[in-house]
């Protein structure tokens, strides 16, 4: 089922938040060399795109940044994460269509699979059932989990997650069915073609900057939520879990770095207590609500947040104001 208030309370005695692994994950690591090669070439291409940046048209850089925020904020944080994985608010059809398109630009697995993995992450956080288990270290939780075979527990637990709400959404079904064509068109082709046709950018600059560098930037911003925000920062709401309040991650990931709050209150659409501060996704959702495209925004009552912070926090609650 989708993470709810009660699922935030799921804990494990196998691991402690400070990084000490109490029990080994118990499975030999099976490297997927195809993924290793792909990720290596992708990051090398992204670095080459940065080298080309000084000689590219300024519009190409602006285009890449716009695509980064379009795919990251609309496709991942507001869409796959807060809307579909957690159901923290509801969105009307036009908004869901746009966010599904943005999700294809992001190319981080289709909405159905992304949401399944994320629900698994919350329900079995820091256990072998967590796809990017932070107890296995920074590299594994950042991107290493994509370079090895899934732990058997991830596969087994994933099959137990209720995804009926996603299966009932025609937008999610359509995107899943046509995911690869949509990625080829929206993540790779259009971002390359637009600079060439609109301001006569070279093919190499357009592809390496607007596709490779932009794509890798979005990937790593998202991965930081799984890694850095599970390792470094304060824990004002629940000191017993790894997820922490990390301002840097919030600044680069559209507001997703208020992670101790989010894992304590996963049903809150803002994923944080500070409103619009370092939370571009909350700004977007609030604007969509004002326009009538988003509704039924769920929040944690301030009295509940305060009581929880005083009861289980690390004593830093209030310092973020």
Domain boundaries, the chain: 30-312
Distances (CA, A) of 191 to 42, 158, 247: 16, 33, 30
Q: How many CB atoms lie within 10 A of CB 146?
A: 19
- CA neighbor of 261 nearest in space, from 219, 220, 302, 218: 302
Kindly compute the dihedral angle of the four CA atoms of residues 196, 200, 204, 205, in this order, to the nearest 10 degrees. -100
- CA neighbor of 135 nearest in space, from 160, 153, 113, 114: 153
According to the model, what pLDDT value does residue 304 have? 96
| Res 23 pLDDT > 60 | no
Contact (CB, 8 A) for 72 and 253: yes
Summarize pLDDT for 36-56 with one digit per residue, the tens.
999 999 999 999 999 999 999
The mean pLDDT of 2-7, rounded to a whole number, is 36
**Among 74-78, 263-267, 274-278, the least confident range:** 274-278
In angstroms and rounded to an integer, the radius of gyration of the C-alpha atoms of the chain is 19
Summarize pLDDT for 178-227 with one digit per residue, the tens.
999 999 999 999 999 999 999 999 999 999 999 999 999 999 999 999 99
What the block records as the tokens of 304 is 């509940």
Task: Identify the band that residue 92 occupies on the pLDDT scale cut at 50, 70 and 90.
Answer: very high
């Amino acid at each position: 089922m989708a993470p709810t208030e009660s699922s935030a309370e799921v804990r494990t005695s196998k691991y402690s938040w400070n990084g000490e692994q109490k029990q080994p994950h118990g499975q030999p690591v099976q490297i997927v060399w195809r993924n290793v090669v792909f990720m290596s070439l992708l990051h090398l291409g992204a670095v080459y795109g940065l080298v080309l940046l000084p000689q590219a048209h300024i519009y190409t850089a602006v285009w890449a940044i716009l695509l980064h925020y379009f795919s990251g904020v609309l496709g991942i944080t507001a869409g796959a994460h807060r809307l579909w994985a957690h159901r923290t608010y509801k969105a009307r059809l036009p908004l869901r269509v746009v966010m599904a398109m943005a999700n294809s630009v992001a190319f981080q697995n289709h909405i159905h699979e992304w949401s399944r993995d994320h629900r698994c992450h919350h329900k079995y956080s820091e256990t072998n059932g967590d796809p990017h288990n932070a107890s296995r270290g920074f590299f594994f939780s950042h991107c290493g989990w994509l370079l090895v075979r899934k732990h058997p527990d991830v596969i087994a637990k994933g099959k137990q997650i209720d995804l009926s709400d996603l299966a009932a959404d025609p937008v999610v079904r359509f995107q899943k069915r046509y995911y690869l064509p949509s990625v080829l068109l929206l993540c790779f082709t259009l971002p390359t073609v637009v600079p060439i046709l609109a301001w006569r950018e070279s093919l190499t600059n357009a592809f390496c900057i607007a596709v490779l560098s932009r794509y890798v930037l979005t990937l790593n911003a998202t991965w930081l939520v799984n890694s850095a925000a599970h390792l470094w920062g304060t824990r004002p709401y629940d000191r017993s879990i790894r997820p922490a309040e990390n301002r840097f991650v919030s600044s680069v990931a559209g507001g997703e770095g208020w992670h101790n709050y989010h894992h304590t209150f996963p049903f809150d659409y803002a994923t944080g207590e500070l409103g619009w501060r370092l939370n571009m996704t909350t700004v977007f959702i609030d604007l969509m609500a004002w326009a009538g495209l988003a509704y039924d925004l769920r929040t944690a009552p301030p009295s509940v947040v305060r009581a929880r912070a005083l009861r289980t926090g690390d004593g830093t609650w209030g310092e973020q104001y």
